Amino acid sequence: MTRIRKISLILVGSIILASSWVGAQTEEANAILGQAGGGALAIVSYGADKAEILKGSALALAEDIVVTAYHVISQAADIEGTNIKGKKVKVEGLLGVDKALDIALIKLKSKVQALPIGSVDSLTPDARLFALGSNESGQLVIAEGTFRRLVDVPSVGKVLEVSMPVPEQFRGGPLLDINGQLIGMMLVLERNFKFGLPIGTLVSVPRTGQVIAFKSQTPSNFFDSAEGNYFGARVAQALNESMTSRVFLEKAIKINPSDTNANLMLAGIAFDQRDYSAAEIDPSSSAAFYGLGSTLLKQTQFQEAAQALEKAASLGHSGKELYLDLGGAYEALQDYPKAGAAYEKYISLGPADAWKAELSLGVCRTKMNDFAGAIPALTSAAKAQPRDLKVLLALAEAYEKAGQLENAESTYVAMAGINPPEAKTYYRQIYRIYDAAGRNDRAVAPAEKVIELEPDNETNHYYLALTYFKDQKFEEAIAAFQKALAVKADFPHAWFQIGSSYIQMKKYREAADAYRKYADLVPDDASGWLSIGVAYMQAKDFEAALPPLRRCVELKPDNAVAQFNLAIVYINLKDNYSAKEIYNKLQTLDPALAERLRKHIR
């Protein structure tokens, strides 16, 4: 290894490091190395002829139990471990394996430092990660990288996508968070494909109950098996490493050419890469094209899925599910007419779960603003599944968009009865649709129901009050705003709306008092001071109007309306000089208001 390649690693052992190289490491890396180094091993697997097979790494779950990658030891008749101090660690044998996830548990005769257990739940994208592992010389080193995301892989479970420059000998080594806690195991497969298995997966490996000596196991190359290649292919595909997935799948098919799943997965990748010659699909097999289409659909390759499914249909595929899948592909592509046609075909075939297609058909027709077609389809789905909230929500939304608000209301009420914990959410929806339609008389009842369900939320009272305000029922509005203030005394918007209600009732001094409460709570909002001033102006109390209007223009001198009103106050107080000063400002701020003001100045 050259000195340049060593720059990202910390070497531990009996070799004394040059101070300049040590300085290249982060303080956290040095700290984690000292903290966790005793919980890692460099391991080497040997065949029955004592020849070296693979170098790898291991992590300590307990003082006498370490975990490594199964493929590192799968061919071993013996293995050798070395700790951070360069000393040999005696190995007893295998304690458990999970071949499907490439994990092996090893029992030690010696003692090592168990690593503190962490959690992947606290990781955020770009969080710093550290890995310990063997280099080419069999010495333990540390590397630093970042966490990208946690990905759920079909038939595998969750894996960690990481960005970290490590050599292949890190396979089986520990992944640590910034606190030095164990959050997973690093795996490095073919084509330098790197990812991590989370700690929860490692601790769940079943144990045999007895230790099996390595020389007693039947040696096999994990990646000469279909199981090993499936594992690599699925993870690579989930992490968008299509070429790597393809390599594994081609090996799996070579092992078992008749494996339908592997052929379909490979065909899906080949379609994605536009390499149709590699898909190896029988051009006359409707089942093969249907299988390919279903696979592509699961991979969210919707355009390619639709093409394959259309081909299957043209070849006379007899399965009803084809049209449900075809509808799903077109719906994902937002080609709603074709999606609707596929769903209609599926429904016409009389499947037991026709309601699923009716739901999707109704949603597609709603997207096309075909409410006359959407509502019957959704009503039929709701008849089959009267308690399905997804169906009812789609029906309620179709009713709303069709302007059938009372039907939307009754549907939301039904949902509230089915799902009481979310009842207030449904009644808020009823309020929203009537409020948006300007039907304030119908909005009152759902607003009151929301208050009944959640009386200690000031905003619930506020929205009821706004509804009364919009319906010009100002006394009722003030009473409701005051109930909001009873819940939360420092609710400024309630005071502002009380002031506006009094303005509408021509109770200007009461309005000024309410606006003053607002300004006390939000003193830097110029609109509060403007409203106080205007209320006093309406009451013909120009002396009282002057201070709040002055405060308003201090806060917002470019507010032309406030400047105009202040000038009117000056005129009524016989201060034409101050009014003329404002007139000069308004000629720049708002010439139209300036012209209006000029007519009042004598």
* pLDDT tens figures, 294-333: 888 887 889 888 988 999 999 999 999 999 999 999 999 9
What is the structure's pLDDT at 152? Answer: 93
d(CA 572, CA 152): 74
What is the structure's pLDDT at 20? Answer: 28
The length of the chain, given as a count of residues: 602
What is the structure's pLDDT at 280? Answer: 57
What is the structure's pLDDT at 274? Answer: 53
What is the structure's pLDDT at 601? Answer: 86
d(CA 526, CA 515): 11
Which pLDDT tens digit goes with each residue over 98-114?
Answer: 999 999 999 999 999 99
pTM above 0.85, yes or no: no
Residue 277 has pLDDT above 60, yes or no: no
Residue 1 has pLDDT above 70, yes or no: no
What is the structure's pLDDT at 533? Answer: 96
Which pLDDT tens digit goes with each residue over 15-72?
Answer: 223 222 233 467 888 889 889 999 999 999 999 999 999 999 999 999 999 999 999 9
Average pLDDT over residues 188-205: 93
What is the structure's pLDDT at 265? Answer: 73
User: Which contiguous run of DSSP H or E holds residue 43?
Assistant: strand 40-46
Amino acid symbol at 595: E
d(CA 397, CA 374): 10
What is the structure's pLDDT at 314? Answer: 94
What is the structure's pLDDT at 291? Answer: 85
Non-local (6+) Cβ contacts of 356 within 8 A are: 324, 381
Which token pair is 268? 């899906």
Residue 257 has pLDDT above 90, yes or no: no
Position with higher pLDDT, 446 vs 26: 446
d(CA 569, CA 554): 16
User: Which contiguous run of DSSP H or E holds residue 226?
Assistant: helix 226-238
| 134-to-29, 137, 167, 307, 402 alpha-carbon distances in Å | 16, 8, 8, 48, 67
Average pLDDT over residues 88-94: 94
What is the structure's pLDDT at 23? Answer: 33
Work out whether the CA dihedral 334, 336, 341, 344 comes out positive or negative: positive
- Say if residues 63 and 39 touch (Cβ distance below 8 Å): no
What is the structure's pLDDT at 272? Answer: 58
Q: Which domains does the chain have, with CATH numbers?
A: 5-217 (2.40.10.120), 225-280 (1.25.40)
Residue 402, helix vs strand vs coil: coil
User: Which contiguous run of DSSP H or E holds residue 197?
Assistant: strand 194-198
